[in-house]
Amino acid sequence: MHTRQSLTLSSLAKSIDAQLVGDPELQIHGVATLKHATPGTLSFLSHKKYRRYLANTKATAVILTEQDATACPTAAIIHKNPYLAYAHTMRLLYPLKKVQPGIHPSAVIDPTVQLDPTAWVGPLAIIEGSVHIEAGVFIGPGCIIKTGCRIGSYSRLIAKVILCDDTIIGSRVVIQPGTVIGSDGFGYAQDDNQWQRIPQVGRVCIGNDVEIGANTTIDRGSLEDTWIADGVILDNLIQIGHNVQIGEHTAIAACTGISGSTKIGKKCLIGGDVGIAGHLEISDGVCLAAGSKVTRNLHGPEHYGGVLPVDRDPLWRRNIARLRHLNELAHRVQQLEHQVKTMIWNGQMDEIYKEATPDI
């Protein structure tokens, strides 16, 4: 998916708006961690945990902050945000392969498809009727684009991505393999103990610059559309229920599930393995720690957590056994408080109460 470029340190520093300390003509052919770098590669120091590898790195140059630069044994590329500078460097050194226009002869394409001549349709891809595909789009091998979809310019469906009927994809969207967009939502009414399927007639609409991981599922709306706004990033194995709305630039890590009709704001950070119940509102800027389970509206910007970290087994079992009687324990504490208060008030002990109140 990527090609590899070479750069001189001077052109790199200029491109990423960094200050260079060292020979401007040195060539960089790749990027590596401080520990595993070899001559000709660039490395970066973005977390103090890795500072111990700086002195002995074999990299040709290191991206780091001004503070760390004094200890840098190699050419230094000074930037106030080395991780971001690393990201920009990676994009310069490993640019996306240009899309070669064309249609693989094994692809199955309906004659009514409007396909920009600069797009690529890979082997054994299927494009059904009334689909509209814009400039520079990459439809990877084995993708299925069902009736009525639209895919915006320069979007890339890596391989075996499935877009169900009428799905709308913006520009510069990247979708990893195995992901299903526009599957029917889980909408049923109970009728005398049988489940009556409710036709799901909304769509999925995905904005620009969205990135979606592998084997993720996004259900179509029941009546209105499921919406993923511009700049959202979704990891692997995520479930997005019908009618969900996700605001601009929100990030969601793997294995998270969002139930139907929930609205998530802009710039939220949602960890992995999070579960969010249906019909909730999570406002802009909420940060949810991995493993959190959400059953009420949350207001941001604010950090929320809720996972129980593991413990050694017998320890955990004892605590958990107590948790099942926590309500009872609280009642016992309440009773003790009453008894002690009564004793204190009971005459002989007038002086105790004041002393007995510790600082909390």
- What residues between 79 and 138 interact with its own copies by CB under 8 A? 81, 83-84, 86-88, 90-91, 93-94, 96, 104, 106, 108, 123-124, 126, 128
Q: Starting from the edge strand earliest in sequence, which strands make up the sheet with 30-31, in order? A: 19-21, 75-78, 61-64, 41-44, 30-31
Question: How many residues bind to its own copies according to rule CB under 8 A?
Answer: 145
39 is a contact residue toward its own copies (CB under 8 A) = no
5: left (phi over 0), alpha (psi -120 to 50) or beta: beta
Please, what is the minimum distance in Å from the beta carbon of residue 7 to its own copies?
A: 14
Residues in 185-244 that interact with its own copies by CB under 8 A: 186, 188-191, 193-199, 201, 209, 211, 213-217, 219, 223-224, 231, 233, 235-237, 239, 241
Shortest Å, Cβ 250 to its own copies: 10
Contact pattern for its own copies over residues 327 through 346, marking x by CB under 8 A:
x-xxxxxxxxxxxx-xxx-x
Binding of its own copies at residue 53 (CB under 8 A)? no
Half-sphere exposure of 15 (CA within 13 A, CB side): 16
Q: Which two tokens stand for residue 175?
A: 């979708």
Find out whether 30 and 42 touch, Cβ atoms under 8 Å: yes
Nearest approach, Cβ of residue 3 and its own copies (Å):
10
278 burial via Cβ count (<10 Å: 0-12, 13-18, 19+): middle
Nearer to its own copies, 25 or 324 (CB): 324
3-state secondary structure 32-72: CCCCCCCCCEEEECCCHHHHHHCCCCCCCEEEECHHHHCCC
Smallest distance, its own copies to C-beta of residue 55, A = 20
Amino acid at 315: L
Specify the DSSP class assigned to residue 80: S
Here the tokens at position 326 are 């926590």
Minimum CB distance to its own copies, residue 227 (Å): 13
By the rule CB under 8 A, 25 interacts with its own copies? no
Residue selected from 27, 295, 297, 301 as contacting its own copies according to rule CB under 8 A:
295
- Active centre residues (catalytic): 242
132 vs 136: CA distance, rounded Å? 13
50 contacts its own copies (rule: CB under 8 A): no
- Distance, in Å, from the CA atom of 57 to the CA atom of 43, rounded to the nearest integer, reads 9
- Closer residue to its own copies in complex, CB, 70/189: 189
Length of the chain: 360
Find all residues with CB under 8 Å of 346, minimum gap 6, and list them. Answer: none
Contact call for residue 272 and its own copies (CB under 8 A): yes
Nearer to its own copies, 24 or 108 (CB): 108
Question: Nearer Cβ to its own copies, position 137 or 212?
Answer: 212
Q: Does 52 bind its own copies (CB under 8 A)?
A: no
Contact between 61 and its own copies by CB under 8 A: the answer reads: no
